[in-house]
Amino acid sequence: ATKEQHTQNWNRIGKPIWTKPARGTLKCNIDAACYKEQNVYCIGACLRDEQGRFMQAFTTRLRGRPDIAELQKQKLQGCWKLYVGYNNCS
C-alpha cells in the first residue's frame, strides 16, 4: 500500500478506520506483539464479513523472534485462512 492509501485508513485524531472488504468476501485483520526478553511473541486475528460483523477470532503465544513484517503480512494471514477454512479473505 502506498503512504497515501495507508493515511486514508486513519481518521483526523490518529485512530485507525476499518474499511469494508469487497462484496462477498471476508476481511482478516491480524496483529502481533514480540517480547524479546522473554523470547516469545503473540499473534491474533479477527475475521469479519462485508458488513463488519464479527465471525471468528483467535490468539496464540509462541516462542521465538520472527520478522514482524513477514509474520503479519504473509504467514499469519495464510495460516488463518487454513485454520478457519475460508478462501475469500482480503
Q: How confident is the model at residue 37 (pLDDT cuts 50, 70, 90)?
A: very high
Q: pTM surpassing 0.75?
A: no
More confident residue, 32 or 52: 52
What's the mean per-residue pLDDT of the chain? 74
Q: DSSP readout, 33-70?
A: EEEGGGTEEEEEEEEE-TT--EEEEEEEEEES---HHH
What percentage of the chain exceeds 90 in pLDDT?
7
Q: How confident is the model at residue 18 (pLDDT cuts 50, 70, 90)?
A: confident
